[in-house]
Structure 1
Amino acid sequence: MSKPRKPKGRPISGWLILDKPFDFGSTEAVSKIKWLFKAQKAGHAGTLDPLASGMLPIALGDATKTVPYVMDGRKIYEFAVAWGEERSTDDLEGEVTQTSDARPDEAAILAILPRYTGTIEQIPPQFSAIKIAGERAYDLAREGETIEIPAREVEIHRLTLLRADKDRAWFEVECGKGTYVRSLARDFGRDLGCYGHIAELRRTYVAPFDEDKMVPLATLVALEEIEDQDERLAALDAYLIDTTEALSQLPHLAVTDDQARRIRSGNPIILRGRDAPLPAPEAYATLKGDLVAIGAIEEGEFRPKRVFG
């Protein structure tokens, strides 16, 4: 029998909150971070288009098991809409498909914003990762197909006009999972009768990570100049955020060594006393600050669903 392959790289875990540069793909960014940190595993929590910059949370090691909790979080974007052209990709990358000499004034822009606040119906862009009959929409669009993408509900918590001039307007939006800012730009332009597309896009927040946690890629790349590998990796690791920060919206349970052993074996633990936590469909347990498991609190027990080393 052949021995199981030992994973390449270091078994480190944690979150890196990358400030992704413009014109750099999300998958490319994850590969670069995985290589820099010599990590066994890496993944991101929510794609940013290559022409967008800003917050790209990247999970390393066991933190990849917590990606869904960040994917579901609120996001904040700052973006600029250029008026007068609609494009095939709804951003600067695409071909011009519609033009107009009309330009909206600030009052007209402010008047439409209430239509885009709350729960709204939105049609994703033709060039998007939405699956249509098992294929990505952007693959079909690149083959020249025009496809019918069904509208879906998204949540816009806040939408603010920051400033405007004749040809461009700048906005900030706080939104839920699955919102396409490119679709907002397209629909603004259609509503205002002038057409529009995204000219600038930056993500500044992905719950629960704040903007001040972001690390520019250039800062990390500059550490390659440190010749001693152990020193270089230690300098990189200093930018990692503990895996548990991704779970801060969940109830927390601190457990003992004996309880942690039971949980890591896949067994539930009994929760007694007046300080026992209330029932919850999801909660996380730690031992001396280290993540042990994510599970449910039910019928006076913590029942593990996902266990961590």
Structure 2
Amino acid sequence: MVVQEEFQKFLEKITNADVYKRVTADIFHERETTLIRQHEQLPEWVDKEEHGPYYYVRYSSPSTSEEVTVKTKTYKLDDQIELNTLHKLKTYQWLLADAYEAFEDFIETVYADCGVRGSSLWVRPEDWKHDGSTKLSDYIKPRQKGSSTPYIQLNAFRKNSEHFRTHEAKDGCNYRVVFVLIEKFRHMIVHEGGYCTNFESLMKKVQRDLSGISFKGIRSYFDAYLIPHRGAKLIDLLEYPAEDGPGSVIGAYHDTMSYLFNTLIEYALLIKESVELDNAEL
């Protein structure tokens, strides 16, 4: 069954991404510990506040072959720790982008199979030219004016599956809202270096894609994932301390990446369940 096979492929991709994330966390934690330890071991005669490495970037003129060398600034201890943290964050961001694209591949294929089988979950696109086709490729990425993948597919499931509508929003997790957050973040990661340069523009796009549901709390929810950095807002996917009462850290951490990965898995599972229920009725 296509939906079962595609779900297993998707689950494997997200599992791998989660393993990469956990290994990444260990690597960069160890790197920060090493940076601090090395700095503490510097001899007394070294100006520790000014000490740090610098790097060279070299390139050549295409016309004259003249080599140009650019020397970076000196990376002091605070700079090195920030660089290490940003490197970790960049890795997290791209793992999230990969996970989103795996979800997009999953829903495209599953929805296309609904079309091949004549399922009621599939909605015939405008200007459809493949009536009677049993080729999966004819049903991949159907385009409709004013909509795009994967919102076409999600809207179709929302419209035609009572099971999907009933369980898309649950206590503590509205899959639709979190998915829109992941989709918008993926776009900013790929095209904006992981930064949000215009929050109001982002909110207009989010409101468009969440039409029909209350926008109360959405602004603050999105803003909670953004931190000021270099004149813009940076997508923050790093772990943060859990607290038991005001300011009382108990040693545990909220794992943002695992939460977002789990949301994608559960959303895909909801799609799988909806398709399987529809198959049982055919």
Q: Does the TM-score normalized on the shorter chain lie above 0.5?
A: no
More strand by share: 1
TM-score normalised by L of structure 2: 0.21
More helix by share: 2
TM-score normalised by L of structure 1: 0.20
